Each structure stands twice: as C-alpha cells, then as structure tokens.
Amino acid sequence: MMVPLDPCNKPTSQRRIAEGDTVVVYERHDSMRAVTVSAAGVLQNRFGVFRHADWLGRHFGSKVFSSGGVGGKGGRKAGGGFVHLLAPTPELWTLVLSHRTQILYIADISLVVAYLELVPGCVVLESGTGSGSLTTSLARAVAPHGRVYTFDFHDQRADSAREDFEKNGLSSLITVAVQDIQGEGFPDEYSGAADAVFLDLPQPWLAIPSAGTMLRQDGILCSFSPCIEQVQRACETMRSCFTDIRTFEILLRTYEVHEGALKSATTNEASSDGSSLPGKKRKIRSAGEALDSTQTSSVIARPCSTARGHTGYLTFARKSVHGSQTGAAEVCPTS
C-alpha cells in the first residue's frame, strides 16, 4: 500500500516483497519502471534477466542481481547486472506512471501541496484527473481521514485512473467521477465542503465561480496553466471573491554528480619565463578509466544538460469572506 492508513501498520518500505506487490525497479536515476510481482514473472532489460521469484521475501530497497550474474544464493558472477527494488511512493509513482496526459512533476506538486495548506482530514476537489500524478500526492497529504474527489470529462481516462488508485491501495482516499467541470461546474453536494480546490483546465476562469462556491470560508484555490494569457484571465475572475492572489513558475535546476580527474598542481606546465601556468581544468573520467600518476580523484557536480524547463504557472488564491455580521460568504459571480 502506497499510503499507510493505519498507524499500527508498517510502512511499505519496512515490509518484505510479496506476490502481487507493486515494485519500482530502479535501473538508474533516469530509468525506472513499475512492476507487479508474480512468482512466474520475468523482467528483462539491458542489465540482464531478473526472475520475480528471486524477489519474493526480500526487503524493499534490496539490490538484486540478474540471473546470469548470480552464483549460488546471494553470490555474484563477474559481469552480472543489478537493479534496486524500491517501495512505491507518490514521488516515484510520478516518474513511472503511464502518461495518459501531460502530468505535474515533483517540483510543482510540492508547491501545490504546501500552498493549499493540506493536512490530514482535509477535503480536496480536483479537476481534471489526467494521469493521477498530483492526485496521488494529494491523497497522501490528507490521509488517513481526508478525501480527494477528482473529476475528468473523459470516461476512459477516469476508468484508467481509478484502476491505478485501486492497485495502489488508495480507493478509500480518492473518489473518481466523470464530469465536465469547465462546462457544468462541481456537483452541488460539495458546496461549502472543500478545504482546497485544484483546477487543471484549458479555460479555468469558467470553473472558478463554481470552485468558490465549493470552498469553505478561507479555503484555497489553485489553478495550473501552461500559458500566461490563461493566468491573466483567471486572475481577473478571481478578484471578485478571492484575495491573496499569487502566481509562481517553478524552474528546477538539477545537477549531475560524477567522479572526475583533477590534474595535479605540481605538474603544471611551465611557461617560457619559468612561471607556472594555471592547472588543467577538471574533466569527467569515463567508467573504468584509470587515473594516471599526475591525476587525483575528485567528485564533480555540474548542471544537467537535459534539465526540464517551463512546465506551467501555478496561481493560488484564498477565498475572501464578505457579507453581514452573520459571516455569510459572498457568492462568486459566473462569467
């Protein structure tokens, strides 16, 4: 189970792998996949052949070698490849799930969860569900007694997301429904019941009035949009019944860490006037390449050349409370 619902239960990472479990097979930092364990199952990749039967009973986090690289129980033959068997988490699920739509990644998700001020017991409304990347993290934030109600206008996408949530043990936290929130708004039964609302829609301004009606007093709305023109129009609509409107763009810069070779300062070449020239620049040493006598080992960090750039804009707004001394909240006007 990705999110423990009973505090008495051990986290998945502390359990042993059993048949039917979902395991995240970690090959390298940019290559992972979700695998459902079965006794007769076999995984083949560039590192070799891995039998699921060899995984049963192992702890999550174990390092396992390919069938061609194992000599006896726990032994290893030269040249055998290996992978790590990780427990599924919302962060890892974001990296391995099937992309039915463009998804939100960890940097955006972390800001959404923080600025929506989600705590256990909160009620969240989401539109649209998409691939369920954000939904999974929302469910963990409100567990064990909260609830996420997520809506998508596409029947097949909603069915696929529901299957994923059931497989990951999240059905008691997430309810999936089919509805065109942009055209019809949220169901009236949730009026005034939501602590937070998240919108990922092409025309969010059409759903903002309904979102305002769903929110409790002082509840928070978040809208994700890839284009600044969408943000501007959404903000215009928010001003009628929201306050503290803020927009963020998250640009995450990832670094790669490698073992490299640093030229020794004592081997600097001499210039014509006898003075020393600056030392050689560090260079990345390829795997298996030996250091010569003039080089020392060094760890080098540098920005990834394939870092993800712009994903979208996140706009947050807090429902303002107006009205009489009785505390009646203002109803957002429709567009």
> What is the distance between the alpha carbons of residues 38 and 21, in angstroms, rounded to a whole number?
8
Q: What is the DSSP letter of 5?
A: S
pLDDT of 1 reads: 72
Give the pLDDT mean for 275-279.
Answer: 50
| pLDDT of 306 over the 90 cut | no
Q: Is the pTM of this model over 0.75?
A: yes
Confidence grade of residue 323 (pLDDT, cut at 50, 70, 90): very low
| pLDDT of 103 over the 50 cut | yes
pLDDT of 191 reads: 97
Q: Which of 256, 257, 259, 255 is nearest to 287 (CA)?
A: 259
pLDDT of 307 reads: 64
Strand ranges (DSSP E) for the chain? 22-28, 31-36, 42-45, 48-51, 62-65, 82-86, 123-127, 147-152, 174-178, 194-199, 215-225, 242-249, 255-263, 283-284, 295-303, 313-319
Query: Is 239 in contact with 280 (CB distance < 8 Å)?
Result: no
Q: 112: which residues sit within 8 A by CB, 6+ positions away?
A: 104, 134, 137, 138, 198, 222, 224, 314
Please give the structure tokens belonging to residue 293. 């006598």
Confidence grade of residue 217 (pLDDT, cut at 50, 70, 90): very high
C-alpha dihedral, 178 to 181 to 185 to 188, nearest 10°: 30
Give the pLDDT mean for 274-299.
Answer: 53
| pLDDT of 284 over the 70 cut | no
High-pLDDT (> 90) share of the chain, %: 66
Q: Average per-residue pLDDT in the chain?
A: 85
> What is the distance between the alpha carbons of residues 312 and 248, in angstroms, rounded to a whole number?
9
Please give the structure tokens belonging to residue 104. 């939100």
Give the pLDDT mean for 85-103.
Answer: 93
| pLDDT of 324 over the 50 cut | no
Confidence grade of residue 156 (pLDDT, cut at 50, 70, 90): very high
Pick the more confident residue, 10 or 254. 254
> What is the distance between the alpha carbons of residues 92 and 96, in angstroms, rounded to a whole number?
7
Query: Is 49 in contact with 64 (CB distance < 8 Å)?
Result: no
Establish whether the linkage from the previous residue to 128 is cis, with ω within 30° of 0.
yes
High-pLDDT (> 70) share of the chain, %: 78
* Cβ neighbours around 200 below 10 Å, total: 22
Query: Is 262 in contact with 295 (CB distance < 8 Å)?
Result: yes
Please give the structure tokens belonging to residue 158. 């909603």
| pLDDT of 59 over the 90 cut | yes
Give the pLDDT mean for 268-297.
Answer: 50
